[in-house]
Structure 1
Amino acid sequence: MSSQPSSSPRAAPVYSLEFFPPRDVAAQERLVRAAKQLLPLGADFASVTFGAGGSTRAGTLSAAEMLQRLGYDVAPHISCVGSTPDDLRSVLATYREHGIRRLVALRGDMPSGMGEMGELRYASDLVAFIRRETGDWFNIEVAAYPEMHPQGQTPEQDLDHFVRKMQAGANGAITQYFFNADAYFDLVERAAARGVTAPIVPGIMPITNFSQLARFSDMCGAEIPRWIRLRLAAFGDDRASIRAFGLDVVTALCRRLLEGGAPGLHFYTMNQAESVLGIWKALK
């Protein structure tokens, strides 16, 4: 697999940030503080996550509005699980009224206690629906999984699902985070062999808290390489050493991805600025 820079001219890398809607006043203040600290980086856009079954719909819009006021181009997440076509039409109309031109379209997770998936079962259905309803108004990003979706059956089936999303009208993709660059390059090559030419931007997770990272990774199927797990575990409660080691590991990953031809980077900020600023400074 190739991980060397191409000699042909490439578009300037696209950098983006991801935030999640706050659940209380203190969290709201943290989000505003982080967003203001990261604004000087000049990210191309900022995405805002969407809770299972639409559980943070109002919060997603509120956070997106706040980020817009600060000067960000925003990309709210939109999910089809548990939503009717009328629900989705209402959400799309609201976003258009707010001048939002970007979306991250996902299947989404089924919240506990919800029994019906809804009429649109897959992200490819959602992308096709958005295109039918709104034409080219929205730039649509979808998810990609270098290490396979946690509910995927085989790598080939997982790739089939991804290709269908792109064929349905997505403009690009953002990957689940990973720490193995070869997995990303492999996905890009296999997708290109299936005719996918749109950009696949790697998702980047800063390392700041080992127990939290391990929990997230187990849930979403992202592999933490054994050598990284062992190093992080050896630091125990030494948060400063974890952050310093994490900065080195993630910066090296970002550098390899960009040198290997990645079209940009998407940072999962966890509503914190320091780790992203550290990576950005190290890359510059």
Structure 2
Amino acid sequence: MPQPNFSIEFFPPKTPEGVEKLRIVRAKLAVLNPTYFSVTFGAGGTTQQGTLDTVLEMRAEGFAAAPHLSCVGGSAESIRAILQQYKANDIHRLVALRGDLPSGYGAGGEFRYASELVEFIRKETGDWFRIEVAAYPEMHPQARSPQDDLKNFARKIQAGADAAITQYFYNADAYFQFVDAANKLGVNVPIVAGIMPITNYTQLMRFSEMCGAEIPRWVRLKLASYGDDSASIKAFGLDVVTQLCERLLAGGAPGLHFYSMNQAVATSAIWQRLL
């Protein structure tokens, strides 16, 4: 069995202080030797320049870096220009997403779905990029049904995606069931498990509400019982997420993708426990 790939996601900083902080965080996480770092792309491309700047700085430091690219609200011309920039800078990996429009925008753009973006990237650039797409073991919050969601996922792979990264989850069974169902549809690309360290209960509840990730009742109640005791929340969260990662890897997950939130401590602690 091949060694699992570990990767780490950042968001582009918006202030000089944030840029400096991310440099420090990145240096701490680089010692873990991840397969690559990825950098998110804001709603409607609102952080496009920040994503590019962050990725290029990582490349200059010698790291493999994968920019996220979302298409909703974008035009073929604007996406083509971004792809040309990444090619010119020898970037060979992309995370292709549908994305969300910034609030206040109406529906727009030439692309409605990530599968259309993947198809466009392949048409424009051939096999230059390794393309990762999103997968939702607990169903995309806007999908009509799990079956529809699975078919949408399969379309992204059929359009030319090489691999997938899941939304974070805390129920390993949801991941394994999703992978089995995808395999039955003929989808056999690596489906890497997205991992969200637990460090802040309120923040976790807010994120999970927005993206449709379920927090198991026993985990939610235990976290709530700690109140403002952040040390206990972090210690319990470390145990829960490490056990989840161990089960995923033992069950054959091809890799783990850590949503770091531009923090080093929790991701590093989980990773060290898995060694």
> How would you bin the TM-score normalised by the shorter chain?
over 0.9
Instruction: Give the aligned residue type for 2:114.
Output: A
Instruction: Give the aligned residue type for 2:62.
Output: G
Indicate whether 1:137 and 2:121 are aligned: no
Q: CA separation in 1, counterparts of 2:3 and 2:237?
A: 26
Corresponding residue to 1:199 among 180, 183, 190: 190
Q: CA separation in 2, counterparts of 1:71 and 1:229?
A: 40
Indicate whether 1:24 and 2:36 are aligned: no
Q: CA separation in 2, counterparts of 1:192 and 1:34?
A: 37
Q: How many residues align?
A: 275
Corresponding residue for residue 149 of structure 1 = 140
Secondary structure of the residue aligned to 1:142 is strand
Secondary structure of the residue aligned to 1:41 is coil
Q: CA separation in 2, counterparts of 1:234 and 1:70?
A: 43
> Does the CA-based 8 Å contact 1:206-1:276 persist in structure 2?
yes
Corresponding residue for residue 120 of structure 1 = 111
Instruction: Give the aligned residue type for 2:262.
Output: N
What is the TM-score with the length of structure 1 in the denominator? 0.96
What is the TM-score with the length of structure 2 in the denominator? 0.99
> Does the CA-based 8 Å contact 1:60-1:76 persist in structure 2?
yes
Q: CA separation in 2, counterparts of 1:269 and 1:69?
A: 21
Unmatched 5+ stretches in structure 2: none
Shift of 1:260: 0.3
Q: Which runs of 4+ in 1 moved over 2 A?
A: none
Shift of 1:112: 1.4
Corresponding residue to 1:228 among 219, 234, 241: 219
Corresponding residue to 1:241 among 203, 222, 232: 232
Secondary structure of the residue aligned to 2:31 is helix
Secondary structure of the residue aligned to 2:247 is helix
> Does the CA-based 8 Å contact 1:142-1:165 persist in structure 2?
yes
Unmatched 5+ stretches in structure 1: 1-9
Corresponding residue for residue 243 of structure 2 = 252
Corresponding residue to 2:168 among 177, 180, 199: 177
Corresponding residue for residue 55 of structure 1 = 46
Q: CA separation in 2, counterparts of 1:179 and 1:25?
A: 34
Measured against aligned partners, the alpha-carbon deviations of 1:87-135 in whole angstroms (never above 9, x if no partner) come to: 0000000001111000000000011121232111100000000000000
Secondary structure of the residue aligned to 2:167 is strand
Shifted more, 114-123 versus 190-199: the winner is 114-123
Shift of 1:70: 2.4
Q: CA separation in 2, counterparts of 1:233 and 1:137?
A: 47
Shift of 1:66: 1.7
> Does the CA-based 8 Å contact 1:80-1:88 persist in structure 2?
yes
Q: CA separation in 1, counterparts of 2:173 and 2:144?
A: 21
> Does the CA-based 8 Å contact 1:105-1:127 persist in structure 2?
yes
The CA RMSD over aligned residues, in Å, is 0.7
The percent identity for this pair of structures is 60
Secondary structure of the residue aligned to 1:152 is coil
Corresponding residue for residue 101 of structure 2 = 110
Instruction: Give the aligned residue type for 2:76.
Output: P
Shift of 1:49: 0.1
Corresponding residue for residue 209 of structure 1 = 200
